[in-house]
Amino acid sequence: MRTSDIHKPLIRRATSTISINEDLILRPASSKYTNEIIEAFDETWPEVIRAMPWINPDKSISDQIRDFINETENRGRSGLLHHWVMIRPWDNYILGVVGFDRVTRSKQAYWNLGYWVRSSEQRHGIANKSINSALKWLGEVEKVTIEIKVDPNNLPGRNTVFSTVQRWNGVRHIEGDSQITVAGVRTNHECYLITIGPEKNSEK
């Protein structure tokens, strides 16, 4: 995507459910899942804070998550944001969250990818399956570039990002590296870019 295309309006569509397999489904984030998301967040603290650097640990975390879910639900209906709750279908157990927002730093991407999986459900491939399915969904209608940021000291997260970048023929984008404040601490994050679209989807 050319830099001049970053602010070009894309095709907007409401966030919709994505069925991955009998063990995993992505449903649009909504307020009906708020309490369960907060529970999963509490279980995964403090590592999950890396995926949600906007959280201020000095304020009510529950209130911040509620505000985030409400905004995501409202803007998801109009295609301005896309966030899904990872759910185990047979008991509606919340496994994590994956989504796209517009907080990009590379000057090359339209969307930024973020995700997290609760501690008790990690190392089962849930993140990779959810990310891959979300990218396919986003790329169904048009070509667009996605930015992924990762703390190089977060080895599990780095492995997930590497796997995603390799699968989608992404590239390292050093110019997009930046320091991100997480819980009051500034840490350097590496930037990677992935371009998706109907042609890419046909290859997956």
pLDDT tens profile 151-184: 888 888 999 999 999 999 999 999 999 887 766 6
Mean pLDDT over 182-195 rounds to 85
Number of domains in the chain: 1
User: Which phi-psi region, left, alpha or beta, contains residue 125 (left: φ > 0; alpha: ψ -120 to 50)?
Assistant: left
- Percentage of the chain exceeding pLDDT 70: 91
Q: Which domain holds residue 165?
A: 3-203
Does the pLDDT of residue 32 top 70, yes or no?
Answer: yes
Tokens of 166: 């390799």
Does the pLDDT of residue 27 top 60, yes or no?
Answer: yes
Tokens of 129: 């399956």
CA-to-CA distance for 95 and 121, rounded, in angstroms? Answer: 7
CA-to-CA distance for 72 and 66, rounded, in angstroms? Answer: 10
Q: Give per-residue pLDDT as tens, 100-136.
A: 999 888 889 999 999 999 999 999 999 999 999 999 9
CA-to-CA distance for 86 and 37, rounded, in angstroms? Answer: 10
- Percentage of the chain exceeding pLDDT 90: 67
Q: Is this structure's pTM higher than 0.85?
A: yes
Here the CATH number for the domain that contains residue 133 is 3.40.630.30
